[in-house]
Amino acid sequence: MPEVTLVEAVNLALGRAMEDDPDVVVLGEDVGVNGGVFRATAGLQKRFGAERVLDTPLAELLISGLCVGMAAQGLKPVGEIQFMGFIYPCLDQLVNHASRMRNRTQGRLTCPMVLRTPHGAGIRAPEHHSESTEAMLAHIPGLRVVIPSSPERAYGLLLAAIRDPDPVVFLEPTRLYRAAKGEVQDDGEALPLDRAFVLREGRDITLIGWGAVLKETMAAADALSAEGIAAEVIDLATLKPYDESTVLGSIAKTGRCLIVHEAAHTGGFGAEIAAFIAERGLSSLLAPVTRVTGYDTVIPMARLEQYYMPSVERIVTGARKVCQFS
């Protein structure tokens, strides 16, 4: 199988979806001639034409609103927001329209759209380019929020997102766009949208993460292994609706849990997972559920961003404490 980067896997999935379904339309800033600032849509306009791969005016609210209108007409729009820091004008459309069109019309109109956006810090980008505000999206009923952490999952989950009959926000870990490489068979096979992926099995502690931090989380699991701690690593992959049973099953086995995310601590999606484990898995727990996250501060610009993001060392230290608790 050919080895591709995560962003190439996104490109393969978009091409496959457009090939399979003439209703799939790709739109966003610079997605056409330029092929996207990260090259996620490279070559698509040449293959499918400027009507199906369209460069929009520089207006994010518009991109999300167009998707709602197109989707209500039966198209399957895939909008791109260039960086997560620019997604906020889309919130009105996501909260008030995309996520509730089906419900408020009792199924008369639906919204099969995908909004893709790069997620997270770590590429020394300018201000407002390094956000990870997935928790506020995962709070919106009627929406699906997905974030892959490998080329294989980017391909399979994006195909699933585009084929899904409901709106999906698809977050792509910027830091892994080129750093993550893996074999991807462009066979049109989708992955399920409601499953977490166990990346590594272990009996001593469960490490749960999503997106780019899984790179550090896997490295931390290696380091812990050298200390005799067998960590199980779960890629949550879909934050809404998340896979409760995989989480609970793992906690039942290990009794200990550390949640890792890049987003700020307070009100982050880790809080949801921790509360869920407290509600449903307390009897399995041998130690308090703990979080290693970004700090409760504005995401710093390039010079300090590495101090903000969860490091292998912070994850190892955090996991060690959870394992030592008795």
Partner 1 sequence: MASRRVNQDLPVIARFEVRHRNYLAPDGSIARPLPAFASDANLLIALYRAMVLLRLFDKKAVALQRTGRLGTYAVSLGQEAVSVGIASAMREEDVLLPSYRDNGALLWRGVKLEEILLFWGGDERGNCFSGPLHDFPFCVPVGSQAPHAAGVAYAFKLRKEPRVAVCLFGDGATSKGDVYEAMNFAGVHKLPVVFVATNNQWAISVPLRLQTGSETLAQKAIAAGFAGEQVDGSDVVAMRAAAEEAIAAARDGKGPHFIEAVTYRLGDHTTSDDASRYRSADEVQAHWKEEPIARLRAYLVGQKMWSKADEERLATECHERVEAAVERYLATAPRRPETMFDHLYADLPEVYTAQRRELAGEHDA
Contacts with partner 1 by CB under 8 A lie at 25, 51-52, 56-57, 59, 61-62, 64-75, 77, 89, 92-93, 96-97, 102-110, 141-142, 144, 164-166, 194, 241-244
> Smallest distance, Å, CB 178 to partner 1?
32
Query: In angstroms, rounded to a whole number, what is the distance separating the alpha carbons of residues 14 and 270?
Result: 30
Q: Provide the residue type at 267 as one letter.
A: G
Going through the chain in order, the beta strands assigned E by DSSP cover 3-5, 24-28, 53-55, 76-80, 114-119, 144-146, 168-173, 181-183, 197-200, 205-209, 231-235, 238-240, 257-264, 290-294
Most distant CA pair in the chain, distance: 62
Looking at residue 75, what DSSP letter applies? -
What is the token pair recorded at 190? Answer: 């989708």
Q: What Å distances lie between residue 76 and 28, 148, 223, CA to CA?
A: 14, 20, 44
Sheet containing 238-240: which strands, arranged edge to edge? 53-55, 24-28, 76-80, 114-119, 168-173, 144-146, 238-240
Q: What minimum distance in Å lies between the beta carbon of 185 and partner 1?
A: 27
Kindly report the backbone phi and psi dihedral angles of residue 164, in degrees, each rounded to the nearest multiple of 5, phi listed first: -65, 140
Closest to partner 1 by CB, 30 vs 164, is: 164
CB of 293 to partner 1, least distance (A): 23
Kindly tell me the sign of the dihedral angle through the C-alpha atoms of 259, 150, 132, 143.
negative
Q: How far is the CB of 168 from partner 1 (least distance, A)?
A: 11
CB of 289 to partner 1, least distance (A): 19
Residue 93 or residue 132: which is nearer to partner 1 going by CB?
93
Task: Tell me how many degrees the CA angle 115-121-127 measures, rounded to the nearest 5.
Answer: 90
265 is annotated as an active-site residue: no
Query: Is the bond leading into 241 cis (omega within 30 degrees of zero)?
Result: yes
Which of 110, 225 has the CB closer to partner 1? 110
Give the residue with the Cβ less far from partner 1, 89 or 182. Answer: 89
Catalytic residue among 119, 129, 261, 265: 129
> Which of 40/70 has CB closer to partner 1?
70
Cβ closest to partner 1, residue 126 vs residue 192: 192
Q: How far is the CB of 53 from partner 1 (least distance, A)?
A: 12
106: exposed, middle or buried (C-beta count within 10 Å: 0-12, 13-18, 19+)? exposed
Q: Bridge-partner residues for 197, per DSSP?
A: 235
Residues with catalytic function: 129
